[in-house]
Amino acid sequence: MFLSIRAAWACTCIVKRTLSSFPVIKSQLDINSSRFHDNVARTRGVALEIQTAIESARAGGGTRALERHVKANKKLFVRDRLKLLLDPNAPFLELSQLAGHEMPYGDVKGAGLITGIGQIEGRMCFINANDATVKAGSMFPVSVKKQLRGQEIALQNQLPVVNLVDSGGAFLPLQAEIFPDSEHGGKTFANLATLSSKGIPVVTIVCGSCTAGAAYIPTMSQEAIIVKSIGSLYLGGPPLVKASTGEEVSSEDLGGADVHCSISGCTDHYATNEEEALAITRNIVATFGEDKSPFSHADSDPPCYSADELLGLAHYPGSSSKYPALEVIARIVDGSKFQEFKPKYGPELITGYAKLYGQVVGVIANNGEMAPDAASKGSQFVQICNSRGIPLIFLCDVVDRCYSCNEDTISSDVHKSGLAIKAQAQMIHTVSLAQVPRITIVVGDSFGPTSFAMCSRSLSPNFLFLWPNARIGAVRPEEVQSSSEDDGLCKLNQQCSSLHATSRVWDDGIILPQQTRQVLHLSLTAAQYPYRPMGNTGMTRTRAVMRM
């Protein structure tokens, strides 16, 4: 599976109950057609390529790096740390697994860190964990971007944060892309302050090197744990001390567990090994207060149609016309039941109500070009859902179109063009200001300014995922007037691919079509059950008094 949604889904008993009287979508899909089978085969081919890349990323920095990691004080691998930290058999929604894939400055597996949402002592938390087997845990530009995106998710969904720090700090040859700007590494610390001001707990384990700017992560956390002989915390390590003062000092004496737990006060809990540190962290999370069971399944009926059929509904360039959006919705929502809103008006956009594991949601799905009436309908529906507190799910498959032209001639239908621009702008405005959870799945194309109306990344949805066939860009490659041999067109095709997008953290990960229902459920749960702090005092550590 592309995301680490464990077998809990398969073994959870779902008690069925009668849903509301929403109409059942009557599928017209011919699963025996050659068109359907061609789509299935193509989706599986693309998925295999992506799955291979994910398995490579999960393997970390390679055999030699793994061996070095173990030899260094017998440290645990990052995924073994997560197994001890998270509740057994609870699902873990891992995000941006392919961040850093084949970047211009090299292949940085997983961007050198694991981020995701999991359950600790029954509480939903956001996890940020360095993988020191990848480039020694160094932070590359894409690493910073992935870390900042994780903090954004924690802030937006009010999720407590657990950091597992094991990093050598910034990759200095690329410091100009990591250090100076407003959305570079320093934003990490501003986000930590904001989390604190909102009363959202942050707990950090120093389970390896915590050097330079990374040293501020545990010291700006509510509570910090450090592991004896393994954890080290300082702005400059022993080599820098020797170079500047000539003094030779060990890592443990300069910034080890005894120093920071007994003298500086930078850390709060002393652990003799990693297992103890992770147990302490679980105990700390248990003090966060009551929380609803985040991953429990509400009583619900599964869709009437197989989720595997979504493989054949993925749309590809050059194929025949797209399948109706209702066919996709029918394979995601409870009982395939859907109460459509304004079905005869602006049919290029499907809007309506459904349930997902018992939760009422508003669904907005592209069913053609975003005509003026469709955009106007979408804007109205978003306002209705926002006023009723109904979360929104966007199924994006949109192609931008200039309404002042057609395939053969350029017309002067400025009136129609103006209507489209005005209606789409209104929808963008409405979606931007909606306060309910918004989750976007790009199931096909997401091209041009019109895609903003479908809650693209610019509008800050709570989560945004891609199907393997998804494409993102300013313009469709097919619309570029160029020969197929042209290098520019080949580059454009590559830059529009889902793999290119996810490697740069333009989304939260690529998912298989048949995973859509479960991923939406996990995402909605994260957005619907945020941590509720008792107070809003924020906190900083008191100034350390150095012993003489």
Tell whether 107 and 177 lie within a shared domain.
yes
pLDDT at 543 over 90: no
Count of beta carbons in the 10 Å neighbourhood of residue 413: 13
- The predicted pLDDT at position 364 comes to 98
- CATH number of the CATH domain containing 426: 3.90.226.10
How sure is the predictor about 7, in pLDDT bands with cuts at 50, 70 and 90?
very low
Tell whether 341 and 452 lie within a shared domain.
yes
pLDDT at 337 over 50: yes
CA distance 211 to 214: 5
Q: Are 289 and 534 in contact (CB under 8 A)?
A: yes
Residues 514, 517, 520, CA angle at the centre, nearest 5°?
130
**Residue 426 sits in which domain range?**
8-49+305-405+419-528
Strands 349-356 and 339-340: antiparallel
User: Shortest CA distance to 99 belongs to which of 509, 466, 468, 523?
Assistant: 509
Q: Which among 234, 257, 288 is the end of a domain?
A: 288
The verdict on residue 540 lying in a domain is: no
pLDDT at 411 over 50: no
Query: Quick one: residue 357, left, alpha or beta (phi over 0 = left, psi -120 to 50 = alpha)?
Result: left
Tell whether 30 and 143 lie within a shared domain.
no
How sure is the predictor about 66, in pLDDT bands with cuts at 50, 70 and 90?
confident
Tell whether 45 and 89 lie within a shared domain.
no
Tell whether 102 and 218 lie within a shared domain.
yes
What is the three-state SS of 448-498? CHHHHHHCCHHHCCCEEEECCCCEEECCCHHHCCCCCCCHHHHHHHHHCEH
How sure is the predictor about 387, in pLDDT bands with cuts at 50, 70 and 90?
very high
Tell whether 203 and 324 lie within a shared domain.
no
Kindly state the DSSP code that residue 2 receives in the 8-state scheme: -
Tokens of 243: 């170079």
Tell me: the pLDDT tens digits for 432-454? 999 999 999 999 999 999 999 99
- The predicted pLDDT at position 193 comes to 96
CA distance 356 to 359: 5
Name the burial class of residue 388, with classes exposed (0-12), middle (13-18) and buried (19+) by CB atoms within 10 angstroms of its CB: exposed
- What is the overall mean pLDDT for the chain? 88
User: Shortest CA distance to 178 belongs to which of 212, 222, 133, 228?
Assistant: 212
Q: Are 228 and 206 in contact (CB under 8 A)?
A: no
